[in-house]
Amino acid sequence: WRGNPACGHIDQARWVYVAESDAKAKEDSAAGLVHHIKNFMAKNAAGYLGAVSEKNQGGELNYDELAETTLLHGSPDTVIRRLQQLQEMTGITSLVLHYPPYYGIDNTLKSLRLFAEEVMPAFRIETVT
């Protein structure tokens, strides 16, 4: 297994939404995200969402709690901070961005643009040639 070229790489998938502010991210995405998660729970996808599905079976989903524990939603600074926390806690080396369709195409494209322009540069590694 040590000969595998992926050895040492840790990928994580997260719901990502970047907006001008944390409040704007919540306004744009909360309803769509909660709808998306409830659809997963309703389809008996037990365990797929980890602690989110275990904790909230039969209960109400709380966007603010999800934003602090599971999501990468908020302003560019908030998303950078949360990604840095994930790196420290888990050692992730790559991120898979997940966008539920309920955010809408315009919001998704705007979020991706902000992620590329504001968040990604904070994680660039300078290479020496």
10-residue stretch averages of pLDDT, the chain, 129 residues long: 72 93 96 83 58 54 87 96 93 88 90 97 80
- DSSP assignment string, 21-63: SHHHHHHHHHHHHHHHHHHHHHTT-TTTTTHHHHHTTTS---H
32 domain residue, yes or no = yes
128 domain residue, yes or no = no
5 domain residue, yes or no = no
Residues spanned by the domain of 48: 11-123
69 domain residue, yes or no = yes
pLDDT of residue 52: 53
Please, what is the Cα angle at 41 between 40 and 43, to 5 degrees? 70
Q: Which residues pair with 18 in a beta bridge?
A: 74
Structural domains of the chain, count: 1
Q: Does residue 86 contact residue 92 with C-beta atoms inside 8 Å?
A: yes
- How far apart CA 105 and CA 64 sit, in angstroms, is 23
pLDDT of residue 51: 54
Q: pTM of the predicted model, to two decimals?
A: 0.79
pLDDT of residue 36: 83
95 domain residue, yes or no = yes
